[in-house]
């Protein structure tokens, strides 16, 4: 079974030993999994998906989507709360303060 474990591990700049230690398995087992000679069990697959913040389907090449829709929705809701807070602060400012803030943000984004 082909997996993306090695690819994900290298993205995080981890050695097999370091990842194996994080997962509570030995390096030899991880090496066999990465080579495709051993299939990870369901619990290890879940641990890997949590560690790398991807879906198990992504690890197993069953999907090209790294994050599940519910994870994306949760991230978007978190960002929405931050934006709502910033909007509330902006709305409390005077027109002059809003104009200064707008000009400042434009200047740093260029």
Instruction: Pull the structure tokens for residue 107.
Output: 């200047």
Q: How does pLDDT run along the chain (110 residues), one tens digit per residue?
A: 678 999 999 999 999 999 999 999 999 999 999 998 998 999 999 999 889 988 888 999 888 877 755 555 566 666 677 788 888 999 999 999 999 999 999 999 87
d(C-alpha 7, C-alpha 48), whole Å: 12
Give the distance, in angstroms, between the CA of residue 5 and the centroid of all CA atoms in the same chain: 14
DSSP string, 60-71: TTS-S-SS-HHH
3-class SS at 97? helix
d(C-alpha 81, C-alpha 96), whole Å: 25
pTM, 2 dp: 0.60
d(C-alpha 99, C-alpha 13), whole Å: 44
Give residue 55's pLDDT: 87
Instruction: Pull the structure tokens for residue 34.
Output: 């990465």
d(C-alpha 21, C-alpha 35), whole Å: 18
Give residue 71's pLDDT: 59
């Amino acid at each position: 079974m082909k997996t993306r474990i090695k690819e994900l591990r290298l993205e995080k700049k981890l050695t097999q030993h370091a990842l194996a230690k994080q997962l509570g398995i030995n390096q030899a087992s991880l090496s066999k999994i990465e080579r495709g000679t051993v299939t990870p069990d369901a619990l290890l697959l879940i641990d890997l998906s949590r560690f790398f913040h991807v879906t198990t389907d992504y690890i197993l090449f069953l999907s090209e989507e790294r994050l599940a829709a519910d994870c994306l929705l949760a991230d978007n809701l978190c960002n929405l709360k931050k934006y709502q807070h910033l909007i509330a602060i902006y709305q409390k400012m005077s027109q002059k303060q809003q104009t200064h803030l707008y000009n400042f943000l434009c200047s740093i984004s260029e």
